[in-house]
Structure 1
Amino acid sequence: MSNRFSGKVALVTGSSNGIGRGTAILFAQEGAKVTITGRNTQRLEETKQEILKAGIPEDHVLAIATDLATEEGQDELINKTIKKFGRLDILVNNAGAAFNDEKGVIGVDQNVSVYDKIMQINLRSVVTLTQKSKKYLVEAKGEIVNVSSIAAGPQAQPTFLYYAMSKAALDQYTRSAAIDLIQHGVRVNSVSPGAVVTGFGEAMGMPSGMHEKYEHFMETHKECIPYGAIGKPIDIAHIIAFLADRKLSSYIIGQTIVADGGSSLVMGMQAHDMMDILKS
């Protein structure tokens, strides 16, 4: 691996599994000191051990188990990162969540409490963590990479209405924050993954085996994923690293790179009822 991020410090939220874990490992392998964070201490430790297995010195990794949805948790992330590493160059706002209505309701009748929970972590936490990071990112002339989703549209997402809304709002935040911050030398961009193999389904409360069934269906229906395979976390991690690498992407400002195996060009997945797929 290269040392293109040598001397840089990266904070990757939601790095206890999936895309966040893959991104943190990649940054560390390419020379960055990394702060990893999540609520699940066991999974967070697994991420740390994966980094150490790659030959990364232990003092290049800071693991903080905290609740990103709280102001206190965010303050802890920023303060401990600066205390240990002295700077912040790259902020990856990867943490995200989708929650099921307790009664299984979808569409416009979902309980608004689900909306509140999703917006708290998917949007509000990005806004406030960016605010708290701004001072240090300006000092470093740093980079922000947000992780959105093809669920942001323009296709309708009645099954995951509030999740899709949060990601659509995040895309607008990316564009607007990019113009606001580039005057200070800070770049903001984002990536919108399609279907990716992560622990997301289980985190949503899907029963064991359900997410695998969904993945198999999508992979075997070319109208859902023309590429014919579910993406892997490292696929998205490489795009995040590209957007955080000013030598490679310096003229990209406020843009979203879609990485979905071609799904959003055909969106045949919209013709299938995911609940029926999971029940089959």
Structure 2
Amino acid sequence: MALNTKDFPIDDYLAVKNSRNFTGKVVLVTGSSSGIGEGIVKLFSILGAKVVVTGRKDAEIHKVAQEVQQLSPDKLKPLEVTADLTKREDVERLINETIKTFGQLDVLVNNAGIYPTSDIHDKNITDEFDQVFNIDLRAVVQTTHTAVPYLEKTNGTIIDMSSCAALSPISNLIISIQPKSVSYVNYCMAKAALNMLTEVLALELGPKGVRVNAVSPAVTEVEGMPKTLIDLMTKTAPLRRVGEPLDIAKAVVFLASTDAQYITGENLVVDGGQHFVVPGSV
């Protein structure tokens, strides 16, 4: 007995060959002057996108911007914006300059963040709470709020940079190898809240054509990451290495691509299996 099947256009299948071509797309990555954000903005540039490099230090932004331009197939000049995302006027200037320069916004990657390590006994714990939530959460809300009208025009996408630390508390194994007694209580809380923001906005913005997802790395080798931590995870993780910025960038590019056009509200864990060995590893 023949099955009744829908005849899907073969062109949709053929289009997958070009799913990583971001020519004509505009990508804004916060915190892109170093670390994981730098890796993300470089990969998008290699794939043809017009990109915005932003951070809080002019020299670091300019250095990355020069490298990004050289990586661009058409040597496209990125937009450089120095901004403090805890200040509303800076966020508005960042989005306004993006639109003024490129005329549109297709991808917003909320990557900027900090992870101080005070524990609950610290007399400054609430000051740190305010600082972490201002940068890791409130700034994401403000940036997204400001960018959404432009993303709705392009059926754009939002990718929030979360962490495995949002899924379970950071293991005592990791804490034990730190040079002093530490805790990631504020960081874990902020990233857990970011995951909920991602899910809520996926529901809210989906009908308007905007997809919202998160990426959760674990230990990733960036400047300032303790060598003892890298060595520990290299020995114990299933893939016997820690992540690199490119590993995370590939995941972000996938979620921004047409290959992920039916994915929203998800949290993609990119940790090489670290969470199986050290739950809550960051």
Task: Please tell me whether residue 49 in structure 1 is matched to residue 49 in structure 2.
Answer: no
Give the letter aligned to residue 137 of structure 1.
Answer: L
Corresponding residue for 1:93? Answer: 110
Corresponding residue for 1:205? Answer: none
The whole-number CA distance in structure 2 between the counterparts of 1:131 and 1:83 is: 18
Alpha-carbon distance change, 234 to 86 in structure 1, aligned in 2, over 3 angstroms = same
Give the letter aligned to residue 26 of structure 1.
Answer: L
The whole-number CA distance in structure 2 between the counterparts of 1:169 and 1:200 is: 25
Consecutive aligned runs of 4 or more in structure 1 exceeding 3 Å deviation: 55-60, 107-110, 155-158
The whole-number CA distance in structure 1 between the counterparts of 2:121 and 2:21 is: 46
The whole-number CA distance in structure 1 between the counterparts of 2:186 and 2:163 is: 13
Task: Please tell me whether residue 135 in structure 1 is matched to residue 144 in structure 2.
Answer: no
User: Pick from 205, 221, 229: which aligns with 1:197?
Assistant: 221
The whole-number CA distance in structure 1 between the counterparts of 2:110 and 2:101 is: 20
Matches within 5 A, 1:233-272: 233-245=245-257, 247-267=258-278
Q: Number of aligned pairs?
A: 254
Q: Which runs of 5+ in 1 are unaligned?
A: 202-210, 275-280
Task: Please tell me whether residue 166 in structure 1 is matched to residue 159 in structure 2.
Answer: no
User: Pick from 238, 252, 256: which aligns with 1:226?
Assistant: 238
Q: How many Å apart are 1:100 and its aligned residue? A: 4.1
SS state at 1:230 partner: coil
Q: Is the 8 A contact 2:170 2:184 kept in 1?
A: no
Corresponding residue for 1:69? Answer: 86
SS state at 2:208 partner: coil
Q: Which has the larger radius of gyration?
A: 2
Task: Please tell me whether residue 215 in structure 1 is matched to residue 230 in structure 2.
Answer: yes
Q: Is the 8 A contact 1:4 1:30 kept in 2?
A: yes
The whole-number CA distance in structure 2 between the counterparts of 1:84 and 1:121 is: 25
Q: Deviations over 1:213-254 (max 9, x none)?
A: 32123212x1xx222111100000000000001x20111110
The whole-number CA distance in structure 2 between the counterparts of 1:143 and 1:80 is: 19
SS state at 2:259 partner: helix
SS state at 2:21 partner: coil
The whole-number CA distance in structure 2 between the counterparts of 1:77 and 1:57 is: 24
The whole-number CA distance in structure 2 between the counterparts of 1:132 and 1:67 is: 15
SS state at 1:183 partner: helix
Q: Which moved more, 1:130-139 or 1:153-162?
A: 153-162
SS state at 1:107 partner: coil
Alpha-carbon distance change, 189 to 150 in structure 1, aligned in 2, over 3 angstroms = same
* TM-score, L = length of structure 1: 0.85
Corresponding residue for 1:83? Answer: 100
Alpha-carbon distance change, 55 to 89 in structure 1, aligned in 2, over 3 angstroms = closer
Q: Which runs of 5+ in 2 are unaligned?
A: 1-17, 172-181
Task: Please tell me whether residue 107 in structure 1 is matched to residue 154 in structure 2.
Answer: no
The whole-number CA distance in structure 2 between the counterparts of 1:72 and 1:9 is: 22
SS state at 1:261 partner: coil
The whole-number CA distance in structure 1 between the counterparts of 2:185 and 2:270 is: 21
Q: How many Å apart are 1:58 and its aligned residue? A: 5.6
User: Pick from 121, 124, 135: which aligns with 1:121?
Assistant: 135
Give the letter aligned to residue 78 of structure 1.
Answer: I
Q: How many Å apart are 1:55 and its aligned residue? A: 4.4
SS state at 1:88 partner: coil
RMSD: 2.1
Corresponding residue for 2:206? Answer: 182
User: Pick from 31, 35, 45: which aligns with 1:14?
Assistant: 31
Q: How many Å apart are 1:52 and its aligned residue? A: 2.1
Give the letter aligned to residue 277 of structure 2.
Answer: V
User: Pick from 160, 166, 171: which aligns with 1:146?
Assistant: 160
Alpha-carbon distance change, 255 to 200 in structure 1, aligned in 2, over 3 angstroms = farther
Q: Is the 8 A contact 2:168 2:279 kept in 1?
A: no
Q: How many Å apart are 1:161 and its aligned residue? A: 0.5
* TM-score, L = length of structure 2: 0.84
Q: Deviations over 1:93-144 (max 9, x none)?
A: 000112244xxxx235452000000000000000111110010000011000
